[in-house]
Amino acid sequence: MAAARASSRIADAVSSGPQAAAGTGAVAVPPATDALEPRLSPAALPAALVVLLLLIATVYDGGFAIRQWSPPALFVLVMLAAMFLGGGARRVSRPIGVALVAIWAFAGWTLLSITWSESVARAWAGGNRTVFYAALVTVALVAIPGPRERRTIGALLIGGVTLLGAVTLVRMHLHGSELFVGGRLDTPVGYRNATACLFALAFWPLIGAAVTRGRNPTLRAGGFAAAVLMLGLAFVTQSRGALLALVVGGMVALALGTERIRRAFLALIAIAGVAVLSGSLLRAYRAFEFGNGTVTVGDIATVTNALTFLVVDAFIVGLLLALLDGGLRASVQNLRRARRIAVVGLLVGTVGLIAGAVAAAGNPVKFVDTKLDEFQKIESRTSEVTRLVTTGGQRYDLWRVALDEFSAHPIRGVGEGGYAAGYYLERDTDRNLSDPHSLPLRLLAETGLVGAFLFAAFLVALAVAILSGVRGATLSTRHAVAGLTAAGVVVLTQALVDWIWLVPGVTGIGLFCLALAAGIVSEPRPPVAPAGRARVALTRVVPAIALLAAAGSVLIVFLADFHTREARAADSPEGALAAARAAEGLNPAALAPRYLQASALERLGELDAARAELLEALGREPRNSATLGLLGDLEVRAGDLRQARSYYADALALNPRDFGIRELKRKTAARARSAPPAPAAAPTSRPSSSRG
């Protein structure tokens, strides 16, 4: 009987995790009780391939261009269509069902905005990108057999991001100067803030791996070293949005996960390590900002060596902590006393950090007022030793225009991709941008209250699924959910203040992680009786047809972009004209094929045909100042300076801050005044460029 009771206690400890084992005095057993089960069933292999495609797309400029994100989007959509036709879709809980309906309704609304957007071409491309995001979420929620496979795929995804970080560090040693722009790390995404977001999203899952008791101490040390590497790489980018994202992601990780004190302590140790070596880690940034604007090979080497030293030290510290943690054999009373000491130490350390920050900032009220004033100023450079404490830039201007557009069109917005026209007309800066650098403001400005509500409903439904499912979950499950949720929250938080939404590699990873977390803890609905033919058609055939139609939409835009690139690379005007016409045939709304046709026709001496192509482009987007500028350039080369001046004037009215257009108008007007009168010509009809 005693043996039976002991056996029962150990079984309870295993099912409850190491903490329960410690409370009973039994030997702690690793939480992975299903170690002999396959970690990745064959049915989950397509989802694993999706993860691989996401990581590959991220290496190529974050998958920003159509040619980079369309191939994985096509694979995902066709895979989902085949899954639905084969009846392999997993039945989902009610919150997950609401999330799926909301994200696909949001994608459909975004595509529908083609009918009222200023730019049909941008709306079509943006709608297809949103369809890609919805498909990724669907794969994570319905195309993976069970929680164990979801945890494994999540681990593979975070491991892949970690591998990208390790490769980046090696490349910094080999040819680091190619990886930095303006003294800030730019690679592998090709946009510094998105690079920071990519590495920051892996930080909290890796911290979770480092605190998992029962795991090999070397693996725990490796997890901590990898977390420090991710934090260091994100810090070298000097991205302010990533700092905010890490804080919010940490709050989520601590709220959902276990081992909160260990997580907090390891995170503070990592932050302290980066802070101690911040002088060396910022060498390249400070050389660019406060030197002569150049960064030397020696500056990059200093950054690289400091980061390498930090990672090696983190591994040693992590190994010592893991060995000490795994070797502790203390009574329950001593463990409670140690826990109280740890809590006090954590509070003291946190208060010390806050006090140090307050001391450095001075009067808190004055500091906040100064930063608010700085936020409203348009400045590109700063006098601060680190960019993380500055608030200047162009975002105030971008957000002001987005709010104006939302106020003018609160229900449906100006349409996907329609923000740019209003921005160029109303901006107070000369920065050539096409996005408000804030996902909520982007949704409100371009998709209105309808789009913002649908996307918010998607997030709320996932949050409900996670919060309701994580209660009572096993230790290993909570570790996985806390890390993956924090990763997704990091991406969405940085998207609050940046244009991460337009970087499918990074945003796709974040949404995939968030959906994986919800799927892990969501129990599928029980199977029902065999359905009739009508129900089978509704639940299988209709979704498959819709997915294939979406794949066709993506394919058309992808092929049009392919022919557009062919036209740009053509050696002869005849070849460029043929490729551009093929692109126009596939995507008549796109302006680039018409621009390329006009250029080719002008080189072939067909001036009237070239002019007609540009006028057709202007008819597609009457408020596009670039088209008017090209018409002005064409008329200058044709010798009609007065007509060119008229086009430049219209372009400047739509884009008053463009210095280049202003100079062209001035020079053309001066030449027109000194030129002899041109012979009278038949008037050329063209659409009005006034603001409608």
Q: What is the pLDDT of residues 210-229, one digit of tens each?
A: 998 778 899 999 999 999 99
CA distance readout (Å), 482 to 152, 163, 601, 635: 14, 21, 59, 61
Stronger pLDDT, 580 or 258, i.e. the higher one: 580
Give the position of tokens 């009373």: 333
In 3D space, the residue among 201, 140, 148, 146 whose CA is nearest the CA of residue 462 turns out to be 140
pLDDT bracket for residue 41 (50, 70, 90) = confident
Q: Which residues contact 33 (CB under 8 A, 6 or more apart)?
A: 14, 15
Is 173 or 22 the better-scoring residue by pLDDT? 173
| Adjacent-strand bridge partners of 181 | 184
Rounded to whole angstroms, how far apart are CA atoms 198 and 206?
Answer: 13
Q: What is the band of 293 on the pLDDT scale with cuts at 50, 70, 90?
A: confident
Looking at residues 359-369, what average pLDDT do you find? 55
Packed helices 542-569 and 573-586: angle between N→C axes, nearest 10 degrees:
160
Percentage of the chain lying above the pLDDT 90 cut: 67
What span, in angstroms and rounded, lies between the C-alpha atoms of 562 and 403? 35
Residue 376 is encoded by which pair of tokens?
A: 């409203």
pLDDT given for residue 619 in this prediction = 94
Residue (of 562, 572, 561) closest to 599 by Cα position: 572
Helices 240-256 & 260-276 angle (0-180, nearest 10):
160
- What confidence category does residue 43 fall into, taking pLDDT thresholds of 50, 70 and 90? confident
Beta bridge partners of 185: 180
Confidence check: pLDDT of 372 > 90 = no
Alpha-carbon span 663 to 580, nearest angstrom: 30
Q: Is the pLDDT of residue 430 over 80?
A: yes
Higher pLDDT: 687 or 609? It is 609
Q: In angstroms, rounded to a whole number, what is the distance separating the alpha carbons of residues 369 and 294?
A: 33
Q: Is the dihedral of CA 76, 81, 86, 89 positive or negative?
A: positive
Residue type at position 578 = A
Contact status, residue 158 vs residue 487, Cβ threshold 8 Å = yes
Helix (H, G, I), strand (E, B) or coil at 530: coil
Distance CA 599, CA 588 (A): 17
Q: How far apart are CA 618 and CA 276, in angstroms?
A: 56
What's the pLDDT band for 239 if we cut at 50, 70, 90? very high
Indicate left, alpha or beta for 191 from its phi (over 0: left) and psi (-120 to 50: alpha).
beta
Evaluate if residue 513 carries a pLDDT over 50: yes
Strand ranges (DSSP E) for 410-469?
none
* Chain segment 653-681, per-residue pLDDT in tens: 999 999 999 999 888 888 877 766 555 44
Q: What local confidence, expressed as pLDDT, does residue 30 receive?
A: 39
Question: How large is the angle between the packed helices 260-276 and 332-361, nearest 10 degrees?
Answer: 40
Is the predicted pLDDT of residue 532 greater than 90, yes or no? no
Mean pLDDT of 342-365: 58
Provide the β-strand partners of residue 184: 181
Across the range 32-58, mean pLDDT stands at 75
Delimit the domains of the chain by residue range. Answer: 154-186+193-329
What pLDDT score was predicted for residue 242? 94
| Whether the predicted pLDDT of 635 surpasses 90 | yes
C-alpha 552/C-alpha 546 separation (Å) is: 10
Residue-level pLDDT at 22: 36
Sorting pLDDT into bands at 50, 70 and 90, what band is 612? very high
Mean of pLDDT over the chain: 85
DSSP secondary structure letter of residue 362? -
DSSP 27-70: PP--S-TTTTS-SS-GGGHHHHHHHHHHHHHHHTGGG-SHHHHH
Using CA atoms in the order 557, 560, 561, 566, what is the torsion angle rounded to 10 degrees?
A: 170
**pLDDT given for residue 360 in this prediction:** 53
pLDDT, mean of residues 514-525: 88
CA–CA separation, 197 vs 230, rounded Å? 10
Helix and strand counts by DSSP (H, E) for the chain: 30, 2
For 180, list phi and psi in degrees, rounded to 5. -110, 145
Q: Confidence band (pLDDT; 50, 70, 90) for 25? A: very low
In terms of pLDDT, which residue wins out, 459 or 32?
459
